[in-house]
Structure 1
């Protein structure tokens, strides 16, 4: 009976790991498609991908400190290749948002 229980637990753990891997693959596909749609390349693409993958996992949605929030907003502005007044406006709005 103990062996059967251990096998059941092992099967559940393995299936959970497979589902997590599939979830990560789906995130990567979605973020890649979004980056391609926005014609991003180089550092802007790297920044966008980082933000996108973190946002999907909930890490970037609620930065712990103002410095973290500034970093996330800056990455998102860079990913969108914003410059000048458009970047200032975006940063202002982004930093004013309440954490999710």
Structure 2
């Protein structure tokens, strides 16, 4: 019985280490940054909730400064490349599909 308990605990530790090794998503990075900023400002309660909401929405920056997700960046780049090549119709669809798969 003790052996089984030790194995379960060991599996949990190994699983935690593996999860910690994975790179954080942009949303997780933003959450960490906003949380650190809210803590530095010693915000509590509703004030903290309001700050976190605005920070996570990137409300403090101008619309042109809002960060794009990696998928949006790829779409913007592929779209610009297709525009430079003056592609239209099926040729553009094919190009965009191939470009976004890269």
Fold conserved between structures, TM > 0.5:
no
| TM-score, normalising length: structure 1 | 0.36
* Bigger Cα Rg: 2
Structure with the greater relative contact order (CA < 8 A, sep ≥ 6): 1 or 2?
1
